[in-house]
Amino acid sequence: MGLVLRDESPALMRDFLREVGECAVIDGGLATELEANGADLNDPLWSAKCLISSPHLIRKVHLDYLKAGANVIITSSYQATIQGFMSRGFTSEESEALLRKSVEIACEARELFYEELNESDKNIEKRKPSILVAASVGSYGAYLADGSEYSGIYCKEMTLEKLKEFHRRRVEVLAESGADLIAFETIPNKLEAQAYAELLEEGNINTPAWFSFNSKDGVNVVSGDSMVECASIADACKKVIAVGINCTPPRFIEGLILSIKKVTEKPILIYPNSGERYDADKKEWVVCTGVTDEDFVSYVRAWHEAGARLIGGCCRTTPRTIGGISKALRTE
């Protein structure tokens, strides 16, 4: 299933949600799951390194999440930028090809999943599950690879136009890649949200998008900007078809859903991290600071009742987490 942008674009997501049972399951952590499968991501490109060195691992992780019950898989392009690849010696054309490759791998995983379903059930074509591929766009801070997507402090040095120029070609390439939608993820400040919105509105982009912000206090985005103001920017952009939260501790999610509901009627998506704290200086997760899979999944009913219509996981969540979410939603 693909989404084709039109004036009533928010209805597109609602149509998809109706097909999957009113609440969709988003996949879980990609980078941490790649590491669990043997990938070495100690690199400024982070998970995007695997586009060069081990695309088969990306495909496997996507497939694992689909088997766990995900309806949406997010590509490995979060930290993939043309500027980042070119700094490693790739040409601009090769860099753009790597961006497209992230979408191709996700689409291949979706087709493999359908093939496996067809082998196990010859009637599956009549009720093939709807699965969307979301092309990930990380913030400028993700490109810096210094943890600043968890603070958004770089907006003090950046202007709106500089951010738009940084992201423009990347967004254009991903919009033309065959992905069903663009996932602007872990947005840490209002300025970058505005840059994304203007790029979508000004450019000839016919692929819908979602905006997903991160918070460390349950009230504001990580830069200190108002979550309500950030969500309002997403709500005002016609090409944004869902608004929400990712890479945020589970304990903050319900309150953030209620805040976002005050300023938008668009479907709300949430995919929290495990609750573990990331040490940006050491570039590692602090052990014993998160919640168990069981505790994470125990929040799902409350999140759904609060208004979340797409639910998944971010860093340090696994296919087991996503399987638990899927089961919890299907047994409500």
Amino acid at the residue 281? D
Please give, one letter per residue, the 3-state secondary structure of 216-285: CCCCECCCCCEHHHHHHHHHHCCCEEEEEEECCCHHHHHHHHHHHHCCCCCCEEEECCCCCEEECCCCEE
Q: How far apart, in whole angstroms, are the C-alpha atoms of residue 152 and residue 71?
A: 30
Residue 65: C-alpha distances to residues 30, 212, 295, 322 (Å)? 10, 20, 19, 7
Residue 128: C-alpha distances to residues 103, 113, 115, 116 (Å)? 21, 10, 10, 11
Instruction: Report the chain's terminal Cα–Cα distance, integer Å.
Output: 25
Q: How far apart, in whole angstroms, are the C-alpha atoms of residue 230 and residue 225?
A: 7
The phi and psi torsions of 138 (rounded to 5 degrees) equal -85, 165
Residue 300: C-alpha distances to residues 52, 203, 225, 327 (Å)? 36, 37, 27, 10
Given its phi and psi angles, is residue 265 left (phi above 0), alpha (psi -120 to 50 degrees) or beta? Answer: alpha
Count of alpha carbons within 13 angstroms of residue 190, beta-carbon side: 11
The answer on whether 50 is annotated among ligand-binding residues is: no
Q: Are 28 and 65 in contact (CB under 8 A)?
A: yes
> Any residues with CB less than 8 A from the CB of 164 and at least 6 apart, and which?
195, 198, 199
Count of alpha carbons within 13 angstroms of residue 94, beta-carbon side: 10
The answer on whether 247 is annotated among ligand-binding residues is: yes
The answer on whether 23 is annotated among ligand-binding residues is: no
The tokens describing 251, both together, are 């304990």
Which parts are annotated binding residues? 247, 314-315
Which parts are annotated binding residues for Zn(2+)? 247, 314-315
